[in-house]
Structure 1
Amino acid sequence: MIIILKSVHGDKIITIDYANIDHNPMGGIDVGGYVNGDKQMNFDTVLDKDLDTGKIYYGAGLMSQKLGRLLDTK
């Protein structure tokens, strides 16, 4: 799946890597992907659902140094 985010800093394309989606044994879903077609700008996070509100939120996550540098400069 590809998600396009529009912002004042330009469009960002987020690609979700379906091969990297898995059930998290602590609850939720582990999701991974990368940004702007660059697999060196990768991330992993956990998506979970708040049982009281029904809203989806993200939990702990990791990102590559290259993606971290991009986000720090914006």
Structure 2
Amino acid sequence: MYFEFHRGVYTTQAAHKRNMRTSEVATLDAEKLASLAWLNGQPYPNPELTESWKKSPSTASTTSPPAPA
């Protein structure tokens, strides 16, 4: 069965998956750098990182964000 309005679905999904992965990697990198800064005496940005994880697609279906590293 051919649906003429469903063309390009795979391309759109691939771009969306790539953007989701980029977002997850950026949040994880921010958390790693924040942990290193915390070891140097800087305050840990827990509220900001928690909000970032809550918005992350990987945790969209869970009830709680992952614990800080």
TM-score normalized by the length of structure 1: 0.20
Give the structure with the higher percent helix: 2
Which structure's relative contact order is higher, taking Cα pairs within 8 Å and 6+ residues apart? 2
TM-score normalized by the length of structure 2: 0.21
